[in-house]
């Protein structure tokens, strides 16, 4: 029987320096924007209103930064993580040119690290992925590492190479979109008077709101990103995993946490970096997601008095409100309710 299907890469198929050109470039549309809002409830006005974005110096409302990330990420799944056991973490994520409806996105990845697991049946693969638009402008790049199954547990393992990654993207290296001006930002229309000066390092914010995940919604969201990982869709395959059911794509949880963070961080208008993050625990349909955030750092941007940077840590929980900021226990282990721990940097207007 002829078999022309893609089985995905197993651990022994990866090699250091390997370049993976991911299939299916994607021209994004206003329909993608509307569907993303329907699935997440995101309300950040810069991504909702052409007139609001135009007052800030942009040509139109750009796509939500996480929508761009998820579409770019989804391209990498068939080549990187189709046979993954788990996505272990993110680092050194950088957002570049804004993406507008009509732009076409293409993603490539490079293998930058390999480490066999001690059990022999799996290994960790690090890749650096780059997404560009139709004129080859970088729009987002990131590093992630995944635990991938081996096709043959007895196959020869490569020498371990673990890449060195920065703790955070330096403020001086953050990219502000060309033409973007904080002076035109309208706090009244944004829904909050709190600007960069109003936030203090160490401050914690309970975002108060919550969203219950529905089976159809999380699968539709994942299909929007053309993420083909079986664990999110195939109940017959998922019945054999340790949970016995489909797992919600972790990126969808990131988007829900970001949408919830609007209540308290409404003027965190653009994500410019993903410094690090991990999916602490699995999420399933029926779970209710809540979130809280902490200001890890804040800094001025070189030559700018209209915009500042906030480094945030957002923690999402399942079936537990965040009024008491569920975090880590005394032994350092996460609270059982915690499902996401994300470190990222945003731009926020200053009073100037």
Q: Per-residue pLDDT averaged across 254-272, rounded?
A: 98
Q: Per-residue pLDDT averaged across 85-106, rounded?
A: 95
Q: Per-residue pLDDT averaged across 152-175, rounded?
A: 91
Residue 230 has φ and ψ, to the nearest 5°, of: -60, -30
In three state form, how does the secondary structure of 56-76 look? CCCCCCCCCHHHHHHHHHHHH
Judge contact between 115 and 128, C-beta under 8 A.
Answer: no
State the pLDDT confidence band at 213, using cuts at 50, 70 and 90.
very high
When mean pLDDT is compared across 170-174, 237-241, 242-246, the lowest value belongs to 237-241
State the pLDDT confidence band at 2, using cuts at 50, 70 and 90.
low
Three-class secondary structure of residue 197 per DSSP? helix
Please name each of the domains of the chain with its CATH number: 11-152+176-349 (3.10.129.10)
State the pLDDT confidence band at 14, using cuts at 50, 70 and 90.
very high
What would the pLDDT profile of 302-317 be if each residue is shown by its tens digit?
999 999 999 999 999 9
State the pLDDT confidence band at 257, using cuts at 50, 70 and 90.
very high
* Per-position DSSP letters for 134-172, written without gaps between them: TT--EEEEEEEEEEEE-SSTTSPPPPPB-----SS--GG
State the pLDDT confidence band at 1, using cuts at 50, 70 and 90.
low
Is the whole model's pTM more than 0.85, yes or no? yes
DSSP 262: H
């Amino acid at each position: 029987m002829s078999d022309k299907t893609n089985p995905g890469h197993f651990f022994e198929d990866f090699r250091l320096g390997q370049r993976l050109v991911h299939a299916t470039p994607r021209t994004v549309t206003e329909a993608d924007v509307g569907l993303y809002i329907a699935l997440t409830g995101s309300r950040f006005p810069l991504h909702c209103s052409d007139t609001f974005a135009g007052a800030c110096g942009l040509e139109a409302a750009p796509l939500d930064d996480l929508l761009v990330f998820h579409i770019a990420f989804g391209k990498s799944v068939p080549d990187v993580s189709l046979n993954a056991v788990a996505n272990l973490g993110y680092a050194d994520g950088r957002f570049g040119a804004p993406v507008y409806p009509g732009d076409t996105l293409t993603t490539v990845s490079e293998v930058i690290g390999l480490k066999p697991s001690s059990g022999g049946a799996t290994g960790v693969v690090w890749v650096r992925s780059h997404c560009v638009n139709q004129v080859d402008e970088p729009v987002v790049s990131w590093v992630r590492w995944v635990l991938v199954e081996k096709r043959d547990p007895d196959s020869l393992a490569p020498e371990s190479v673990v890449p060195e990654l920065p703790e955070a993207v330096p403020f001086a290296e953050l990219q502000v979109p060309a033409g973007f001006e904080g002076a035109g930002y309208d706090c009244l229309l944004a829904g909050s008077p709190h600007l960069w000066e109003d936030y203090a390092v160490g401050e914690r914010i309970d975002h108060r709101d919550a969203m219950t995940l529905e089976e159809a919604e999380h699968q539709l969201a994942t299909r929007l990103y053309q993420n083909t990982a079986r664990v999110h869709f195939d109940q017959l395959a998922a019945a054999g995993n340790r949970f016995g059911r489909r797992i919600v794509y972790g990126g969808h949880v990131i988007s829900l946490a970001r949408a919830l963070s609007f209540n308290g961080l409404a003027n965190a208008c653009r994500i410019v970096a993903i410094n690090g993050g991990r999916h602490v625990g699995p999420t399933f349909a029926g779970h209710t997601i809540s979130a809280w955030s902490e200001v890890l750092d804040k800094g001025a941007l070189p030559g700018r008095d209209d915009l500042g940077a906030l480094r945030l840590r957002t923690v999402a929980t399942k079936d537990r409100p965040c009024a008491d900021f569920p975090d880590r226990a005394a032994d350092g282990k996460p609270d059982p309710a915690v499902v996401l721990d994300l470190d990222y940097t945003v731009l926020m207007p200053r009073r100037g």
